[in-house]
Amino acid sequence: MLAGGLVAGCAERAAPPPVVPAAPVKAGPEITVVATPIPMDAADPTKVTAEGGFSYAGGLVLTSPDTTRLHGLSDLRIGAGDTLTAITDEGDVFEARIQLDAAGRLAGLADGKLFPLPGPDGLPLQGKHNADAEGLTVMPNGDRLISFERDHRIWLYPAQADGGWRAPRPAPKPATILPDNEGLEALSAYPAAGPDAYIVGGEEGEVWLCRLSTDCKSLPPQSGPDFTWGLTAFAPFQGTAVATLHRGFDPVRGWRAIVRFISDPTLPLARQRTAASLHVDGAMPRDNFEGLALSTSPSGAIRVYLISDDGAVSAKQRTLLLAFDWTPPPPPPPAPAKPPKKPARKR
């Protein structure tokens, strides 16, 4: 009788059958990206003109219901077919396809993927000290370089036919001592100095020209307006020119950003020229902009993409992707030819 009661009691307390999801559960790197449009000026949503000859080409606030890791975006590049590749300061890669509206303006993102960067052992990077990726560039042969801070280094991820990311190898880095959280923020291929050349910038404005085949040498600094600004990104422009991104913050003025087109960062500062400057300030959408990329708009203008790292200061920060267009002014007409000098008459 006692044994039968124990058996019956165990049967009554048996675990319930597993609950089967009503629909397939997503697995793998694919994520849904919610892209909410944001105007350049909330008080005047029709405004699209910015100072310096730039026009607003759309902006998005990015979130995802599928992951908590879509944040901390530190740099980006735009590839063929308007493909976006970004890296995060937690060691992830974010890929998506940019969607444009009928007017060629930024409208959304599709085909989102988020996956961890592999280390030299092929395994995902672990811990903030090892995974704090800050700069991203693509070399002329398709190899990708990523710069890291905290553990200050640059890694080369060889190009793959399938576009994947395999185990990296070290690349030359500047021989300098950097603060723990103010490292190699800015990184860009620099084909003007050779197919294996790239420029690297520290947050305090230091700049170096490096080559995969040799070491790095110092260049003139790229400083912001004052000490509250830091250098966060480079992007290759035309010929010897590059675009620079500085972000500024203080408790009174909040976040600001400046993009500059610099004629030649290898020249002494007195000989460098700024072709254009984009100031993200005032009523414009502002945050901790750390990523910069250039492409060509459907109309043929230079398109500037900015992306923000949402985790620097406040829980109120957002992941913003903004686009601006700039058309270089036409070159000035050639000066009229000087009339030939008449030969002086000999007396």
- pLDDT tens for each residue of 110-123: 999 999 999 999 99
User: For residues 43 and 265, what is the distance between their CA atoms, to the nearest angstrom?
Assistant: 38
User: For residues 146 and 157, what is the distance between their CA atoms, to the nearest angstrom?
Assistant: 8
pLDDT tens for 202-228 read 999 999 999 999 999 999 999 999 999
Question: What secondary structure letter does DSSP report for 19?
Answer: P
Identify the three-state secondary structure at position 302. strand
Q: Which amino acid is at 232?
A: T
Given a cut of 80, is residue 17 above it in pLDDT?
no
pLDDT of residue 1: 47
pLDDT of residue 2: 46
In terms of phi and psi (left: phi > 0; alpha: psi -120 to 50; beta: otherwise), the region of 292 is beta
Q: What percent of the chain has pLDDT over 70?
A: 90
pLDDT of residue 47: 94
Mean pLDDT check: name the lowest of 53-62, 123-132, 318-327, 335-344. Answer: 335-344
Token code pair at residue 256:
């600001």
Long-range Cβ contacts of 13-16 (<8 Å, 24+ apart): none
pLDDT tens for 278-298 read 999 999 999 999 999 999 999
Mean pLDDT check: name the lowest of 20-29, 144-153, 228-237. Answer: 20-29
Instruction: Annotate 268-297 with DSSP letters as a single string.
Output: -GGG--EEEEEEE-TTS--S-EEEEEEEE-
In Å, how far are 121, 232, 244, 252, 258 from 306, measured between CA atoms?
32, 11, 11, 23, 10
Higher pLDDT, 6 or 66: 66
Identify the three-state secondary structure at position 144. strand
User: For residues 266 and 37, what is the distance between their CA atoms, to the nearest angstrom?
Assistant: 39
User: For residues 256 and 279, what is the distance between their CA atoms, to the nearest angstrom?
Assistant: 8
**0.75 cut: is pTM over it?**
yes
